[in-house]
């Protein structure tokens, strides 16, 4: 295509310029004389004779060793990476009925052809007899899956099982004596660690490409990033190794050649590499793979909770020495195993089976490695520095999510409250939820409380509560677990807490029909309330 040709020409021009600049810079840097010796050519020879007399230094030897290490890993890993192509055929729409007399113009009728969709991606061999790991979105809905090895042999693959929630799929080809890749320990990876990404970016033309970078972060959520889909995991490995469409399903390996993740998504406004890629941790992949191979599906356990990462207010409220843990926002239903075991809304989960839980991703992964019927010891922190270990027997999950992340409310307020009112210590204005307002917001008779009408953008609730202009309105239904229906109820509850205290609010968002819990530190003065 003309555009692609122009781009390659531009790249070639830049390379030529770079080469010329390189010669200039070499002169400026005073490289050893004779590095490039201009000589009268011998008959049929070149006028430029390269001379290798750059002195060896410890720094140079270190760089050479690093380069050799990357080359060795790439050479060892590439034969285990495969090119995956999928094909999905859409059934042709029924031919429309022709008006009388039109048969002569369409003797064979008006037939629509089936639409064939094709896609490409990557994968890697995990057993010598042909099991291959890839992404679910590479093979989802495919009528035919083809695998090509680096030696150009092609095989038709069978889909053993897929898991949309984690974007993992297992496929198999009928082959033997294949070179499987060793699976590493993604929990042991560190930010700053060197990694290689190997796959087939942008399809056939760039098949079996190797890119290098570092682990730039761990425990990332995708939240709308390119290719994220509807995935429930929130513990991705972030890397700056170049990953593009077509890399999906390929391995992210460490310097020992061990797989630490499956390349799955990119953060990009254009759909192409913009500096950051994301890989599914291999420890989670291994658990999913084992179940897919054994059963063709994944049976998930659940705590039956809705959660969010603890804030500074949450940590202070329950007496933690730092911001850590996961707040229980609500329960899926009354059958929630966590609720039945005695866990309460507002509890901060700080460990499971003795393993520290600092954020939602860690809770999610910990539960994901369990099975229905397993019992886990959940340590929670409560108000006043109370610590309690509660044994919970996990149940089977009906959905892909083991936990659900609940986002805090918007909190970008409108105008500053202009007069002292019951919500002044919170930095908000409120009004009772009347029947007219309930009708306006289409609320049920079960919703009672105070409607947030204004949020002070500089007040303590600015990042936590929302009025109608900022994604609300939020309705305050309870303070410290006690219902509030009138302004007097709210005023008394806040006065009892005292200036500067942290209070727990139960909220209902009229726009999203969602309940949540949040903790806010009151203003240091009651401001007339």
Does the active-site annotation cover 167?
Answer: yes
* Torsion angles phi and psi, residue 338, rounded to 5: -65, -45
Check whether the bond before 473 is cis (ω within 30° of 0): yes
Catalytic residue among 248, 268, 429, 529: 248
- What is the dihedral sign for C-alpha 50, 55, 59, 60? positive
Residues 6 or more apart whose CB falls under 8 angstroms from that of 73 comprise 196, 253, 255, 256, 257
SS3 29: coil
User: Could you tell me if 299 and 396 are in contact, meaning their C-beta atoms sit under 8 angstroms apart?
Assistant: yes
3-state helix, strand, coil in the chain (%, to 5): 25, 30, 45
Catalytic residue among 86, 122, 167, 268: 167
**Letter string b/e over residues 31-47, b meaning 16 or more CB atoms within 10 A of that residue's CB:** eeeeeeeeeeeeeeeee
SS3 328: strand
**Six token digits for residue 503:** 């209070």
SS3 308: strand
Q: Distance of alpha carbon 4 from its chain centroid, rounded? A: 32
* Torsion angles phi and psi, residue 159, rounded to 5: -85, 110
SS3 208: coil
Q: Of all helices (H) and strands (E), which one includes residue 391?
A: strand 386-393
- What is the dihedral sign for C-alpha 500, 506, 509, 512? positive
Instruction: Kindly give the interhelix angle for 282-295 and 360-368, rounded to the nearest 10 degrees.
Output: 30
SS3 75: helix
Using alpha carbons, list the distances in angstroms from residue 489 to 131, 163, 180, 418, 479: 63, 49, 66, 21, 9
Relative to beta strand 305-309, strand 404-405 is parallel
CA quadruple 15, 18, 19, 23: dihedral, nearest 10? 180
Spatial separation of the C-alpha atoms in residues 131 and 293, rounded to whole Å: 9
Q: How many alpha carbons lie under 13 Å from residue 45 in its C-beta half-sphere?
A: 10
User: Could you tell me if 251 and 200 are in contact, meaning their C-beta atoms sit under 8 angstroms apart?
Assistant: no
Does the active-site annotation cover 103?
Answer: no
User: Could you tell me if 286 and 367 are in contact, meaning their C-beta atoms sit under 8 angstroms apart?
Assistant: no
Instruction: Provide the 8-state DSSP code for 515.
Output: E
Spatial separation of the C-alpha atoms in residues 284 and 125, rounded to whole Å: 17
User: Could you tell me if 263 and 240 are in contact, meaning their C-beta atoms sit under 8 angstroms apart?
Assistant: no
Using alpha carbons, list the distances in angstroms from residue 57 to 37, 50, 494, 502: 23, 20, 70, 61
Does the active-site annotation cover 448?
Answer: no
Catalytic residue among 80, 86, 137, 456: 137
Active site residues: 137, 167, 248
């Amino acid at each position: 295509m003309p555009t692609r040709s122009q781009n390659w020409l531009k790249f070639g021009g830049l390379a030529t310029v770079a080469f010329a600049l390189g010669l200039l810079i070499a002169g400026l840097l005073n490289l050893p004389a004779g590095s490039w010796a201009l000589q009268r050519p011998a008959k049929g020879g070149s006028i430029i004779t390269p001379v290798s007399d750059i002195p060896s230094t410890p720094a140079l030897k270190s760089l050479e060793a690093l380069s050799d290490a990357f080359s060795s890993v790439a050479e060892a890993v590439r034969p285990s990476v495969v090119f995956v192509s999928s094909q999905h055929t859409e059934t042709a729409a029924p031919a429309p009925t022709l008006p009388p007399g039109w048969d002569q113009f369409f003797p064979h009728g008006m037939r629509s052809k089936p639409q064939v969709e094709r896609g490409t991606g990557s994968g890697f061999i995990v057993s010598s007899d042909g099991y291959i790991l890839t992404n679910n979105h590479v093979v989802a809905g495919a009528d035919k899956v083809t695998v090509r090895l680096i030696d150009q042999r092609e095989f038709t693959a069978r889909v053993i099982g897929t898991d949309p929630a984690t974007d993992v799929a297992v496929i198999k080809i009928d082959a033997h004596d294949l070179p499987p890749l060793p699976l590493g320990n993604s929990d042991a990876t560190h930010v700053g660690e060197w990694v290689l990404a190997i796959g087939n970016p942008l399809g056939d033309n760039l098949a079996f490409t190797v890119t290098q970078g570092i682990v730039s972060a761990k425990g990332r959520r995708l939240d709308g990033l390119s290719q994220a889909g509807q995935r429930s995991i929130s513990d991705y490995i972030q890397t700056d190794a170049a990953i593009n469409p077509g890399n999906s399903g390929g391995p992210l390996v460490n310097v020992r050649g061990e797989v630490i993740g499956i390349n799955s998504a990119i953060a990009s406004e254009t759909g192409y590499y913009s500096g950051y890629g994301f890989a599914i941790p291999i420890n989670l992949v291994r658990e999913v793979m084992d179940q897919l191979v054994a059963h063709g599906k994944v049976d998930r356990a659940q705590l039956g909770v809705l959660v969010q990462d603890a804030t500074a207010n949450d940590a202070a409220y329950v007496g933690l020495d730092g911001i850590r843990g996961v707040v229980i926002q609500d329960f899926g239903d009354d059958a929630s195993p966590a609720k039945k075991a005695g866990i309460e809304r507002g509890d901060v989960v700080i460990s499971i089976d003795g393993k520290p839980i600092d954020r939602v991703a860690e809770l999610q992964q910990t539960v994901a490695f369990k099975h229905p019927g397993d019992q886990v010891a959940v340590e929670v922190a409560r108000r006043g520095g109370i610590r309690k270990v509660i044994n919970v027997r996990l149940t089977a999950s009906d959905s892909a999510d083991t936990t659900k992340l609940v986002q805090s409310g918007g909190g970008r307020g409108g105008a500053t409250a202009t007069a002292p009112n019951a919500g002044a210590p919170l930095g908000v204005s409120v009004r009772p939820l009347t029947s007219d307002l309930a009708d306006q917001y289409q609320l049920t008779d079960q919703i009672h409380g105070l409607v947030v009408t204004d949020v002070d953008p500089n007040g303590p609730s600015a990042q936590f509560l929302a009025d109608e202009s900022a994604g609300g309105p939020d309705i305050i239904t309870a303070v410290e677990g006690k219902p509030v229906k009138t302004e007097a109820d709210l005023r008394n509850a806040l006065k009892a807490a005292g200036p500067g205290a942290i209070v727990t609010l139960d909220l209902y968002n009229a726009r999203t029909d969602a309940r949540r819990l949040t903790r806010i530190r009151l203003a240091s003065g009651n401001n007339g309330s």
